Amino acid sequence: MLFSIRAKVDWKSVRPQPMPCLKPQLRLRRPPASFVSTPAPSGLSARLSEKVLIELMDINKLPHEFRDDDMARVRFFPNGTCDELTLILVSDQNERREITLEITTGLASVESDPRRFR
């Protein structure tokens, strides 16, 4: 599954998208064609409040500031792993939350103490 984060538009949204994948390799005379898997609609999409700012969006520790992009993508793989993500959100009351994804399990954790931010 592929999650898209739109941070630069007037509103912020997070929504799952199908991820391109390949059919399993079989011993056929013709090579297998690519297709896009389409999971059942999950109903999982959200908008962040206008009172919330994305301060940091780091994906796979790449030297790039993803929060300035029109869209950033985080991949979740069938084996339970995912891209590494660190997201820091700031409220209009200057409250900060760090959301991280554990790459080997795909589980998210939330930290509210800025002294413990990675």
Q: What is the DSSP string of 60-104?
A: TT-SS-GGGSS-EEEEB-TTS-B--EEEEEEETT--EEEEEE-TT
pLDDT in tens, 38-63: 444 556 677 778 888 889 999 999 98
Q: The pTM is what?
A: 0.69
Report the distance separating Cα 73 and Cα 54, nearest Å.
15
Report the distance separating Cα 1 and Cα 3, nearest Å.
7
The tally of domains found in the chain comes to: 1
Mean pLDDT of 90-110: 93
Report the distance separating Cα 65 and Cα 55, nearest Å.
10
* Residue 36 confidence (pLDDT) above 80: no
Mean pLDDT of 68-91: 89
Mean pLDDT of 21-50: 51
- Domain span at residue 37? 2-116
**Nearest-CA neighbor of 87 among 1, 14, 11, 9?**
14
